Structure formats: C-alpha cells, structure tokens
Structure 1
Amino acid sequence: MQDMEFQASEMGKIQIADEVLQVIAGLAASEVAGVVGMSGSFAGGLTEQLLGRKNLAKGVKVEFGDGDKECSVDLSVVLDFGVNIPETCMLVQENVKQAIESMTGLHVLAVHVHVGAVAFNQEKLHAKQREVTELLPGDKKSH
C-alpha cells in the first residue's frame, strides 16, 4: 500500500495513508440514500466476522495519480432494491469526491462505482408478496 506525501514546509512532510482515504470514501458512499453497504472480497468479510468489527475500508480501492496530490477511487457497493441505480451511483460519486477533496486537499480524478449486489428488505418483500397474492383471483370460496 502506498501513502500520499505532501511537502508541508521546512518543518517536515505530511503523509496520508491510503487506508485513511479508503475509510473516507467508504463512509461518504454509505451516507448516500439507497446504499445499503459496501461489498468487498470474501477474505475481507471473513476478517470482519473474525475480528467482530466493521471494516470501514471494505470495497474501496484508492490509487494515487502520477501528478501531485491526485487520486482515483474504485468502490463496490450494495444498493437497496428499487432505487434508481445510475442516479444513486452519481450521488455516490459526488459525495465521495467532495469528501476526499475537502478533507485531504487531494484532487479526485475519478470515482468508479461498481454495483456488486442489490439487497432486498425482507419485510418489504413479504408485504409486496401478500399484496400481490390478495389481488390475484384465487381459490377464495364465497360463503
């Protein structure tokens, strides 16, 4: 993993670890309505379960650009069933870009959003199934 180096002054330098950027991006993406969570690798999920704590950088990859103070971000997200996928992903891109740029001073070249899964709210799903079942002509016997 690489760190982004800033030249502060004669006093020394400041480094920002890419893990910090991953956490910022993951939290910013999770704030967007319709984003249920982040999807990562199987190993990341296993580590999360074993350690018993949430990995805030899960599903996020940051690459630093060749130029000064620039990066690009890849995110794998899980969206709620029924949301407008392109619209939600654009909101994720905007929120992640704004969060990283305002907190670090880096220029974000790109935010690539990969929809890894769609989550179904089980209660909504069961309610919808009951609704459809009631509307269908069935074996209801009239008395």
Structure 2
Amino acid sequence: MSENKTNGQIQIADEVVGVIATTAALEVEGVVAGGGKGFVELFGKKGHTKCAKITKDADEAVLDMDIIVNFGTKVQNAAKEVQEKVKTTVETMTGLTVAAVNVSICGIVKETEAKAEEEE
C-alpha cells in the first residue's frame, strides 16, 4: 500500500548553493579566497556568492567557481580537490545532482599577503 502525498515544493536559492559551494572550496588546503575581490569581502554574504555561479536545470546543477590559491600550492591538485569537495557537499546538503564543477584559478597570492589583507 503506497500513498502519493506531496507536502509542497522545495526551492533552494542560487545564493544558498553559492554559499555552500564557496564554504566547501575554502576547506581545501591552499585555497584562500574566491572571486577576484578582496579577502575581507569574501566573508560577507555577497562575497560568498561572487565566486560561485550556479546554473540549475530541474534537479541538476553546474557550478562555475573562481578561486585564489596560496603560492606554492599545486594548482591542479587544489582544483581537482575543490571539484570533488564542492560536488559532494552541494549534493549532500541540497539533494541537487551536480553535473559539473568548473574551477578557474583567478589568482595566486603569498600566504603573508592573504593574512595581511584579512586583518585590514
């Protein structure tokens, strides 16, 4: 005996998916920021969505991420790890199927520069 009941519709805003994706990307070692903006701006709500562009179609999403990494980080490894981490985290938290995570490295900074700008 099965009953088909629906409780309504669930919609997740692109901004929410962007925050989830950016937070996951920042957990990867060597990734210090996203977008081409200042590091301080990254931690506000607007900053979290500037480095992640989301294209949704039904229950499938494609994410385009712009990240900045520390000098000395193996860029290809960091980008692959960002792809895996973002895909897994977004799928787990939202139920969306992530078809692709496209990562663009838009900058490299020295670790001391990143810390100095965060303190400002």
Counting only pairs closer than 5 Å after superposition, residues 85-104 of structure 1 correspond to structure 2 as: 85-104=75-94
The one of 11, 17, 24 equivalent to 2:20 is 24
Cα RMSD (Å): 2.1
The one of 7, 26, 29 equivalent to 1:33 is 29
Residue in 2 that maps onto 1:64: 56
Query: Given that residues 26 and 58 in structure 1 are in contact (C-alpha distance below 8 angstroms), is that contact kept between their aligned partners in structure 2?
Result: no
Q: Say yes or no: does 1:74 pair with 2:70.
A: no
What SS does the corresponding residue of 1:61 show, helix, strand or coil?
A: strand
Identity of aligned residues (%): 41
Bigger Rg over Cα:
1
1:59 aligned partner, one-letter code: C
Q: TM-score, normalised by structure 2?
A: 0.79
Residue in 1 that maps onto 2:99: 109
Aligned residues: 106
- Higher relative CO (CA 8 A, sep ≥ 6), structure 1 or 2? 2
- When residues 92 and 15 of structure 1 are mapped into structure 2, their CA distance, relative to the original with a 3 A threshold, is same
Deviations 1:20-72 (A, max 9, x none): 100000000000000011124x6xx6xx49xx94622221100013xx31000
Q: Distance in 2 between matches of 1:69 and 1:22?
A: 16
1:62 aligned partner, one-letter code: I
1:77 aligned partner, one-letter code: I
